[in-house]
Structure 1
Amino acid sequence: MKRKLALLLAGVLAAGSLMGGCGKKDSASEGGQSADGEVTLSFFDKNSGSNTFDDDVAKAIMEKTGVKISVENPTGDPLEKLNLMLTGQNYPDIVLMDRGNEIVKRYIDAGALVDLTDYIDQYPNIKEMYGETLNKIKYDDGKNYYLANWYGQDPEPVAGVVMRYDILCELVGHERADSDEPFTEQEFIDICKQFKEKYPEIDGKESIAITLDAESSNYDGTIRGMYGMKNYAQLEDGTVSHIVKDERFPKIVKFMNGLYTEGLLDKEWVVNKKEQWKQKLSAGNVFATFCSYWDTDPVNVSLVSTIGENAKFYSYKIVGDGTNADETTYSGRSTLGWDAIAITNNCKNVDAALKLIDFLVSEEGQYLMMWGLEGKTWNMEDGVHVPTEQILDKIATDIDAVKAEYGIRKWTWFIKNGLGSDGTPYDLYSYEKTETSQMANRHFGESDRWDTAEFDGLTPDGSTPEGLSWQKVQDLYSQAFSQIVNAASFDEAMDIYEKLINDMDAAGLPNVEKIMTEKYNTKMELWGEE
């Protein structure tokens, strides 16, 4: 109750401040600078950790824009700090927040963020680089209060069924293991059975055909992707609902419960923490898991050193029963990015803030932040960015050391996915694809990619009755899913599944569905889509 009152008071105070001080924005050029004309802007970045803004890239940004930046690092929980700053109205000039979190809505509703709508046309880089994304990140009132970070189409594959390459070659042969043709659901099950028959034990340890990371639930994208499912169910009457109401969900029930009853799924999967999961994969007695291809990169380093070069995990596509290969949805990513970056109402020099932002979103700014300094880590050759061999070698071995030494990827603000105008990626880390990335790109294609942005922000606000109902629904799902998977038979699993739907409805899911559907339709109308 105290927290709710504090947030309510924050909104009232912020709104009053905005009404009483609306001249701030009009007199932007008068504030935020010292007697000698130097402009300083404070910037809260939830991802900055304890980094200081004094590396080569940071110095170049300040030199090129004429703006001095004072980074405010999060201490402890970034979300808690953002809430405290909002309550006390002591937020800095610019804030970077989790775009999918309700905190963004709280800042907007409290009048804490500057409406950027009328400014955007004055800054060509913002308009050119963001393009249609500007329309998609508008708030409910049709205005732009923030710019996205890590936005745009990311072509990299995401989820998959990740299998040990050397063992797969033994079981199906090199030609099949190297083929780009996806495996069917039954093929995969048969391969797992062959593995268990051939290797009941490995190095004195019981073999495990499949293990999962229950802590992060990073298997979700794989099991949904197999059957062409997305984040929510879209029912025939146009209702947006929980994924369990998708008519294809029983296929997941059958598949996952079958893995368990056949003895192919790790008996301890429900209690696996991320580190335990990695340890199991590194032990050498596991054949497969469900995750993104990069999740097993640290494991591969260990396996190469203990077993050999071919003992790496690679990501493969499994086509679920009743699904066509071009209907799978393994590679869901939001084109609207991870973060929201906004100018706050406390900023006394909005012009300077926008000048800084316009540079950072530009190609020059992107390459500076993500590639470092020209002549030091890269050179322009025939109009194309070319990294030095030295920096590529260092990135391949220790990206954290590269950040510390060169400032590359240390400040990731307004980052755009994809390629620059010369055909090179904005992100130097993507310049040379790893072996695991190359394999994943061969197995997953354009048909697997879909934009999760249409489903962003549909759930009710947490403090509302419907928001509390949604939390109950989610809790019911989390508890029941493991019971479904671990049921003694498919019939028992389906009984638990059907009871889950009834329990969800009793917990208030129909009221939640109304709000989600309204939000979805409003978003589609705002985007100008059917």
Structure 2
Amino acid sequence: MRRLKKPLLVTLSLFLVLVTALAGCGKSDNGNKPAPENTSQEQKDNKEPAETSSDKWVLGEKPLEFSAYAHYQNMDFPKWESTPIGKWLSEEKQVKINMIAAAGAHTQKLSAMMASDDLPDMIWTDRNHPDVDRLYQAGKLVPFDDYLDKYTNLKTWMGDLNLLRHEDGKLYRFPNWYSSNPYGNAGYVVNKKIYDELGKPKLETTDDLYDYLVKVKEKYGDSVVPFEPHRAQDMQGLGVLYTAFGEGALYTHLNSGLRAVPKDGKLTSLMTDPVFREAQKYIAKLYREKLISQDAFNQTEDQVQEKVMTGRVAVFAGASPTDFAGEAHAELIKQDPDGGYFMIWPIHKPGLDKNKIYPGTYTSFGWNAAYITTAAKDPEAIFAFLDWYTGPEGMNVQYFGPEGKNWKGFDEEGKPNFTENYDPEEVAKIQSENTPVMFVGNTSYIDPAKYKYMAQLPFEQQDWRTRYQQTITWPTQYNVTEFTGLNPPADSEEGIIQASIDELFLEIYAKSVMAGSDAEVDKVLDQGEKDLMSLGYDRLLEWRTAKWQENLEKMKNNK
């Protein structure tokens, strides 16, 4: 799931609070990781002099300025200096990033930049975005291989990078929120005030959820949305509901990069999958009874956030619902200490094992990635900066602020030493404001670092997001690294088929959600199967099956 964020996680979500901070972060046993070297000032004073700038780029030794572009619809990077990390790096380390905005016209913006050969120095987007594949095919991306042994944070914390490599065997992607351990924020958030007023009923099965949403509508009418699914055109909360109907049914099955269900070593059609069909009938029932946001397919992130922030949703689900809900919880309990939000264990169909239901997924490589283009005057400097940014010092400054106030130095495991002046509210604000520019997040490092502080607090005093990551979301996310890299080249026959499939699939999906009966859902999906196959869906499934099997073989050989 994309973290923006989240679910996204992650969202995003928003996500961001994406995507927002902590959306897409993961638990990691960091005991076998080396302690960061030459990072805190105290450590620097006791170390040998660093390599000179002629040998290695060193943060702050000389100015670094480059342009960056976020290739996500309805999302632009904020101005660099408007974020705490951007302001500090600009003033203290001579790092200035010029953010390029598209104002919603991202497809047109990147196409125009490609046509004029006026590319940004860095592009941040989905890990396998077809537009980036066009840049790769045109020779417009810079490989990182020559830098990996010189700037070692990515290599140290990511580990095996083989599945990230392109067809030529080189590495062009710098992953975001990578980890080998479970992380992610997908799941269900419940409005505590409404839940208490309705008598705290059991919320475990799909039957329980339906009965609860009916009660919400009966009591609150149109003033409260019973089930808020975030952005339905991105699957989001509706995708989370799908996972309730099958043990091992995954949100990733619905994503553009897969759009299939694994069965007996092959990737098979979603349209004929009985779990998908049952889920769509349940979702359609909720929709026609107005238990789901009726504008779910066209609402904006801001509209979703406003409803959550004001407590006008009873149940909120998505790729990273913790982003908005975590922020809203803090505000709502100021007005009513007994209000706010809490998370529940994933909903499951009666008769299924609740511990085999996974509302969210994660990969070792996270959600998105940063790419350096050949437009960059000094690509090594940009990579070196990204490597610092993803390392212990960079992650700590992004999360806890500059060294000195909230943290100082590192312990024997490489985690930050938090000071007596640690200010939770300040840290939360720093994280939230920095989230939109956390473009090479290191989940393996930062989550254990965050939890080091939280672990010493009583459960009720722990950060809302961290509390539920530890107890609900991380234990219920599923590793789908094996399904990475299943997008064919955009200009290949399979790539052209995928583009057509993606467009038609969303139309079929929306029609099935808005169907007037179970029979109509079946009719929509039956016709959808025929229409998708006429576009070459079967050929795309064959191509992806072959790539999937290649991934499995690589993973097997790397063990």
Shorter-chain TM-score category? Answer: 0.7 to 0.9
The aligned residue for residue 163 of structure 2 is 136
CA distance in 1, matches of 2:86, 2:443: 26
CA distance in 1, matches of 2:288, 2:86: 57
Alignment partner of 1:425 out of 427, 450, 472? 450
Deviation at 1:139, TM superposition (A): 1.1
Unaligned runs of 5+ in 1: 1-27, 63-67
Q: Following superposition of structure 1 onto structure 2, how do residues 224-303 of structure 1 map, counting pairs within 5 Å?
A: 224-226=242-244, 227=246, 228-230=248-250, 231-232=252-253, 233-260=260-287, 264-266=291-293, 269=296, 272-280=299-307, 286-291=313-318, 292-300=321-329, 303=332
With 42-51 and 320-329 compared, the bigger mean Cα shift is at 42-51
Matched AA of 1:210: F
The aligned residue for residue 151 of structure 1 is 178
Are positions 1:74 and 2:100 aligned together? yes
Deviation at 1:183, TM superposition (A): 0.6
Deviation at 1:484, TM superposition (A): 2.6
| % identical equivalent positions | 20
Deviation at 1:386, TM superposition (A): 0.6
Are positions 1:412 and 2:438 aligned together? yes
Q: Following superposition of structure 1 onto structure 2, how do residues 489-508 of structure 1 map, counting pairs within 5 Å?
A: 489-508=517-536
Are positions 1:184 and 2:205 aligned together? yes
Deviations 1:23-54 (A, max 9, x none): xxxxx969999xxx957563535364322497
Alignment partner of 1:335 out of 361, 364, 368? 364
Deviations 1:265-319 (A, max 9, x none): 455555554444455556666432322233334554665566x333323232211
Matched AA of 2:519: D
Q: Following superposition of structure 1 onto structure 2, how do residues 481-520 of structure 1 map, counting pairs within 5 Å?
A: 481-520=509-548
Report if the CA contact (8 A) 1:184-1:318 is conserved.
Answer: yes
Deviations 1:481-502 (A, max 9, x none): 3433333332232222222222
Label 1:310 to 1:32 Cα distance change in 2 as closer, same or farther (>3 A): closer
Are positions 1:376 and 2:405 aligned together? yes
Label 1:523 to 1:89 Cα distance change in 2 as closer, same or farther (>3 A): farther
Are positions 1:386 and 2:413 aligned together? no
The aligned residue for residue 395 of structure 2 is 366
Alignment partner of 2:354 out of 313, 325, 334? 325
Q: Following superposition of structure 1 onto structure 2, how do residues 45-194 of structure 1 map, counting pairs within 5 Å?
A: 45-46=69-70, 48-52=77-81, 55-60=87-92, 62=93, 69-76=95-102, 82-91=110-119, 95-132=123-160, 134-153=161-180, 155-173=182-200, 183-194=204-215
Deviation at 1:453, TM superposition (A): 3.6
The higher radius of gyration belongs to: 1
Report if the CA contact (8 A) 1:183-1:318 is conserved.
Answer: yes
SS in 2 for 1:191: helix
CA distance in 2, matches of 1:93, 1:271: 33
Greater relative contact order structure (CA < 8 Å, 6+ sep)? 2
Unaligned runs of 5+ in 2: 1-52, 71-75, 254-259
Alignment partner of 2:238 out of 208, 217, 220? 220
Label 1:438 to 1:348 Cα distance change in 2 as closer, same or farther (>3 A): closer
CA distance in 1, matches of 2:307, 2:508: 25
Report if the CA contact (8 A) 1:32-1:348 is conserved.
Answer: no
Matched AA of 2:322: Y
Report if the CA contact (8 A) 1:367-1:427 is conserved.
Answer: no
Label 1:381 to 1:104 Cα distance change in 2 as closer, same or farther (>3 A): closer
Q: Following superposition of structure 1 onto structure 2, how do residues 197-212 of structure 1 map, counting pairs within 5 Å?
A: 199=219, 201=220, 205=222, 208-212=225-229
How large is the Cα RMSD of the aligned pairs?
4.1
**TM-score w.r.t. structure 1 length?**
0.74
Matched AA of 2:166: Y
Deviation at 1:163, TM superposition (A): 2.3
Label 1:438 to 1:140 Cα distance change in 2 as closer, same or farther (>3 A): same
Label 1:428 to 1:337 Cα distance change in 2 as closer, same or farther (>3 A): farther
Label 1:192 to 1:366 Cα distance change in 2 as closer, same or farther (>3 A): closer
Deviation at 1:372, TM superposition (A): 2.9
Label 1:445 to 1:296 Cα distance change in 2 as closer, same or farther (>3 A): closer
SS in 1 for 2:263: coil
The aligned residue for residue 18 of structure 1 is none
CA distance in 2, matches of 1:411, 1:488: 43
Q: Following superposition of structure 1 onto structure 2, how do residues 392-407 of structure 1 map, counting pairs within 5 Å?
A: 392-396=424-428, 398-399=429-430, 403=433
Deviation at 1:249, TM superposition (A): 0.9
**TM-score w.r.t. structure 2 length?**
0.70
Deviation at 1:506, TM superposition (A): 2.2
Matched AA of 2:391: S
CA distance in 1, matches of 2:477, 2:368: 21
Matched AA of 2:165: K
SS in 2 for 1:424: helix
CA distance in 1, matches of 2:99, 2:325: 30
CA distance in 2, matches of 1:505, 1:261: 29
Label 1:86 to 1:30 Cα distance change in 2 as closer, same or farther (>3 A): farther
Are positions 1:523 and 2:551 aligned together? yes
Report if the CA contact (8 A) 2:405-2:421 is conserved.
Answer: no
CA distance in 2, matches of 1:359, 1:81: 29
CA distance in 2, matches of 1:114, 1:229: 37
